[in-house]
Amino acid sequence: MKYTTFKFNGQSKIGALLDDYLVDVQSAFALYLKEVEKDNQADQMSKVIIPNCFTEFLESGERSWEAAETAYNYVKLKDKDTLGINEEFLFYPLSDVKLQAPIKPKTIMCAGPNLESPEDPLMHNYLEFFLKAQDTVIAPNEAIIKDKSVGRINCVPELALVFGKRGRFLDKDNVLDNVFGYTILNDVFSVDRLVVGWEGTMFHVRYGEGASFDTTAPIGPWVVTKDEIENPENLTMKKYVNGKLIEETNTKELLRSVKEFASYCSTYFTMQPEILISTGNPEALKFGVNEEGIPVLKDLRRNPTYLEAGDIVECEIEGIGRMQNPVIE
């Protein structure tokens, strides 16, 4: 199933994608309870079991997830003009709603650098992450703001893991057992704010300055349940700017596998619905050594471009979908 959060007439709801419609799973479950279970408290029970906040929905566990799937399967063959028990809509055309970020995590853990020479001892050839704040999150179709302070900006599509079960110190062979599903994170960053500094014999990039400011984390368009993604380690990722394909990569090209990075993150924080893991992209800025042996930022992308005001950027990941965001100043 593909879940998202949407707003209609000022009210946020959890929707499940059905062709060109979103099914209001809470209202659909109320209808199921009334018509099938003959529950006289169907309205109240549906709100308890399927909350309209996606993070709360995840935290409610398998009872809520199974209820949502039951509701979806019950109504999916009904006429699209079918109403709920309170005469509310059950089916919302995508064209009539405003998509929100399907999940708004408190913390986003993003994969650190992709390295030109992982065997080089001068490089950060170890696992590394940086954090994006909750305020960086924006919805599909919401604007990425390129103000004068950020300089050149770029972005890359990344596979993001949405956790449904809590766990820490998760083994890489079992870490995906705690995952509910996957979504797209468009990792926006300022090239000119990435500050390279020395730490002994190593060099360091301050990602907080370059990749964690307003509008740098578009998320969406859906959270796809993990049963629909056969192998997250082999998914094609594409970036389009103004309709033109700019980059095409695959999660199998990541220096550190999806499982390895997620397992590593779990040694720092308890994985839970309020934490999103974004697993990186092979085409992000990489690092190298100049002729004097000094570590420097090197733009080693196959087709380097930067975003400008007026651009429309689209990020697509196989099996999930495509998310669009305009760029403004």
Sketch out the chain's domains with CATH numbers.
2-99 (2.30.30.230), 101-328 (3.90.850.10)
Alpha-carbon gap, residue 208 to 210, rounded angstroms: 6
pLDDT at 310: 96
pLDDT at 301: 53
pLDDT at 201: 52
Residues of the chain with pLDDT under 50: 115-119, 122-123
Give the residue from 218, 157, 16 showing the smallest Cα distance to 97. 16
pLDDT at 108: 96
Q: Count Cα atoms within 13 angstroms, Cβ side, for 36.
A: 12
CA distances from 124 to 105, 108, 261, 264, 289 (A): 27, 21, 15, 15, 12
- Indicate the SS3 state at residue 261: helix
pLDDT at 116: 46
pLDDT at 152: 85
Give the residue from 265, 274, 252, 259 showing the smallest Cα distance to 129. 265
- Indicate the SS3 state at residue 71: helix
pLDDT at 117: 47
Which residue, chain included where needed, has tokens 């099996």?
319
pLDDT at 256: 84
Contacts of 241 (CB under 8 A, 6+ apart): 305, 307, 311, 312, 313, 314
pLDDT at 151: 85
CA distances from 253 to 64, 114, 214, 229 (A): 35, 10, 29, 17
Total-model pTM: 0.91
